[in-house]
Amino acid sequence: MELQLTAQQTLLWQRLMTFKREQLMSMTTELETTKTFNPDMLAAIESQLPPFGMTPPVDRFSQQVLTVMALAQSSASLAMIIASWWQVQDAVLAFGTPKQQQRYLDQPELLGLPSLAMPVADSDMLQASPVADGWQLSGTVSKVLNGGQAASYLVMAQTTPETTGIFLVAAEQNGITMNPAVVTLGLNGLPLADLQLTDVKVTAADQLGQWGQGAEIMQRAQALGRLFAGAVTAGVWHHATEKARQLALTEQPPLAQLAPVIAMTSALEASVFNVAQLADEQQVFVPAANSVMLFASQMATQPLATLTPLIGELAYTQHSPLMALQHDLDTLPLLVGTSAVIADEFAMVTLNSQQNLSPVAMPTVALEKLAISDLHRVVKHLNLTKDVPVNVGSIATAKRIVALGRGATDPAVLLQAQQLAKWIGAAFAVTQPLTMMEQFSIEQRIGAEAVMVAPEVLINIGVSGDEDYLAGMAGAQHILSVNTDEQAPIFDHSQQVFVGTATEFLDGMVAALN
């Protein structure tokens, strides 16, 4: 793993890899054979992690994403079971009362929720009828994750014609029945079934959040689920690469054929981990989570198609490990939405500049307009002269990126921008028009249809910011953009902006670096 992990996260990853080798194989075999989740498995996995509880670590999402990627290397089904459990726990942690947090966070028990593959507004919803000291819930919730095996379920109900509520209902309550399990193409160990509620009594103690927050809570859960599904995809790709390496017909590993898949896996891992860091920092993460899952879903089976020829005739038999992995990936849209659904939601959130739906009213980051005199402070604040790597690698995994657009094609500007990138240890990226120039390749293009990036710092020079480019850079942590047009779309997605020419900005940066 090439991610920039803290010492604690590195130890966690090492523990997870040891756990995978020594214990997970027998557990996952039992899970996918019997289709029954053993509660002891939950305790075993939890023992590998720092205790989350009511006071989770500041890097909770980062740790959970690492865990999901590790589990998916052994079983995508197990990874999705744990991910859905954490989706519910996050909702309780973010919106629950102290009593609810104590009830659902302090003990390891499996929790379930709807798959939410469709937009929340279009999803199945229960009807809540008011009764003395509470409500009665009636209706069917389709495709419930951990259905039939969870101790409690997170459900949304129509409380009035204009409002929705979220409730936590115990599986043992009267009026709850589980329809026969949904038989899926892949993810064979994941319990999935329709939940039927008939006059199930709930009270204010079972309600999560405030009136009118139902869609908000579910949308956050959905975004988190897509982030975890992106981590599952990365884990499956990693596992597929290892299987192909082991079964390759040649004596030496076919490195040339494996290289593209390894690069794609690294890029997805970096993007997923960066979104988790955004969530840990309580920053906007919903658009970035949708962007990561959009990339993962559009490219879901491409790595497997590349690897299939390497294992010969085995690839075309029922014993092919890649066939099972492909079925797992083909099933994910049932749980998190198709590429078309995710693309629509991503466009709606991004183009309408909606903010992340968070339970805490976090202050938005004010757009800072920079002058030449500010650039020395920018260099210092972003630590651009520290930890400068010698080999920066591809833009997919780079920590710093300098990107040029149509407004920076002058030869003198290109030369100066390349020098800036070299000095700060940044990879060099471009927009689609510049790929027509001899010195740039498609591998350097940022975009949803090109390379998705997730750097710590992204400096855009002369980039206007079309929809494809904005989607491709959605995983970046800090964005500084330079353009002569104050109305450039890229400015709406940047923390710092410089209104001026590329030459003015680059001259100022050179002076600041010196």
Q: pLDDT tens digits for 256-269?
A: 778 888 889 999 99
pTM: predicted TM-score of the whole model, two decimal places: 0.69
d(CA 418, CA 205): 60
d(CA 254, CA 57): 41
Q: What is the CATH number of domain 111-215?
A: 2.40.110.10
Q: pLDDT tens digits for 206-256?
A: 999 876 788 889 999 999 999 999 999 999 999 999 988 888 866 566 667
d(CA 74, CA 232): 10
* Coil/strand/helix, residue 53: coil
How many percent of the chain have pLDDT more than 90? Answer: 51
Q: pLDDT tens digits for 14-44?
A: 999 999 988 888 888 888 888 888 888 888 8
> CATH 2.40.110.10 residue ranges in the chain?
111-215
Give the pLDDT of residue 315: 77
Spatial CA neighbour of 113 closest among 211, 219, 36: 219
CB 232 within 8 A of CB 72: yes
d(CA 377, CA 375): 5
Task: Tell me the average pLDDT of the chain.
Answer: 87
Q: Would you give the DSSP letter of residue 198?
A: E
CB 303 within 8 A of CB 257: no
Spatial CA neighbour of 167 closest among 118, 112, 227, 223: 112
Strand partners, 157: 126, 165
d(CA 404, CA 460): 6
> CATH 3.40.50.1220 residue ranges in the chain?
368-513
What's domain 368-513's architecture?
3-Layer(aba) Sandwich (3.40)
CB 285 within 8 A of CB 330: no
